[in-house]
Amino acid sequence: MYQTPLETNKVLTKPPLTPLQPVYWAGLGTYQQAWIKRDDLNHPVIQGNKWHKLRFNIVAAQQAGCAGLLTFGGAYSNHIAATATAALAFNLKSIGIIRGDELANQQQAWSPTLNQAELQGMALHFVSRQQYRYRHDPEWLAQLHSQYPDYYFIPEGGSNDLAVSAMSDVVQQINQQCPDWTHLVCAVGTGATLAGLAKAAPDKQIWGIASLKQAEYLIPQIKAWIGQHQTNWRLLSQAGKVAFHGGGYGKTTLEIMATQQSFEQTHKLQLEPIYTAKLIYAFDTLLQQACFPEQSRIILYHSGGLQGRTSGSN
């Protein structure tokens, strides 16, 4: 059902149209409607927001004459998997700076994500967890640039200004498919997807569901991407006493898993455990607590990452 977007630069600048599927959920009020934006269908591996985040960066790398892409991630990173696949599709080399040097000499312990990334041609460079904390440090990045001068650097999660701007195409599609929508709810890892959607739809409500504990540290960067005075967005970690993060990044609860299973069975689709399962759990909770106004028309953003069903995800 998906289209394969990674063929030409022309296609890269225009994302494939993905369906807006109606949501049938017990908690919806009489005058409320909901849909799920199926961006998990835009590519089999480079799915959802990862496809959008990477496409302008790939064009920038090509325009700069770079030999490859260099990026950062954990052993279960959706972004690592997507970047390796995208680089191969465009005849670019790729390097992944991977958190966890204990894996360097233990390939038998590698996640399916790392094995697949290597098969796609990505060179994996493992660093200690302490070293990985410097992934945003200008001095360390300068050292990496001197070591890999022909590579285009993409931040962890693919999150930068180009990624934020690319999310406007998602909003354009939704506007065409459901012109009178009022709310969009998305999962949040780094905050770039939330920022891009909010910036592109200033007259709508964009609610981000944190997938990790204490996600408030993301707010300054989100504000920097969106603009300090735009107020149409919220970063939600809980509703009442119900937390959405499932105990922290990469963790979950029986309640989240049960909600995921029910939603998948009802709507004949798959979610992944780190982000979209928590998104649906949060949506269910917000409905139960009557957080959406009457006559709300709600879009749930399926950000893909289904490789994480077998490997964990990041």
Q: Residues 182, 222: one domain?
A: yes
Q: Residues 167, 290: one domain?
A: yes
Q: Residues 57, 168: one domain?
A: no
Half-sphere exposure of 83 (CA within 13 A, CB side): 34
Q: Residues 133, 188: one domain?
A: no
Q: Across the chain, where does the E strand assignment appear?
A: 20-22, 33-38, 68-73, 93-99, 122-127, 151-153, 183-188, 205-210, 233-236, 238-239, 242-243, 297-302
For residue 182, give every residue at least 6 positions away whose Cβ sits within 8 Å of its Cβ, in sequence order, or none. 204, 205, 293, 295, 296, 297, 298
Helix/strand/coil for 194:
helix
Q: Residues 303, 191: one domain?
A: yes
Q: Residues 87, 119: one domain?
A: yes
Q: Residues 57, 204: one domain?
A: no
- CA-nearest of 145, 125, 102, 78 to 311 is 78
Each residue's pLDDT tens digit in the chain (314 positions)? 333 444 444 446 578 899 999 999 999 999 999 999 999 999 888 889 999 999 999 999 999 999 999 999 998 888 999 999 999 989 999 999 999 988 888 888 888 889 999 999 999 999 999 999 999 999 999 999 999 999 999 999 999 999 999 999 999 999 999 999 999 999 999 999 999 999 999 999 999 999 989 999 999 999 999 998 899 999 999 998 888 988 888 789 999 999 999 999 999 999 999 899 999 999 999 999 999 999 999 999 999 988 767 654 44
Q: Residues 36, 68: one domain?
A: no
Which among 106, 129, 158 is the end of a domain? 158
Instruction: Determine the Cα–Cα distance for residues 208 and 190; give it in Å rounded to an integer.
Output: 11
Which among 116, 136, 158 is the end of a domain? 158
Instruction: Determine the Cα–Cα distance for residues 93 and 123; give it in Å rounded to an integer.
Output: 8
Instruction: Determine the Cα–Cα distance for residues 1 and 44; give it in Å rounded to an integer.
Output: 10
Output the DSSP codes for 236-270.
ESEETTEESSTTSTT---HHHHHHHHHHHHHHT--
Helix/strand/coil for 293:
coil
Q: Residues 264, 193: one domain?
A: yes
| Owning domain of residue 117 | 49-158
Tell me the CATH number at 63.
Answer: 3.40.50.1100
Which among 120, 136, 158 is the end of a domain? 158
Q: Residues 89, 21: one domain?
A: no
Q: Residues 283, 199: one domain?
A: yes
Instruction: Determine the Cα–Cα distance for residues 259 and 76; give it in Å rounded to an integer.
Output: 23
Give domain status of residue 262, yes or no: yes
pTM attached to this predicted model: 0.91
Q: Could you give the number of structural domains in the chain? A: 2
Q: Residues 229, 120: one domain?
A: no
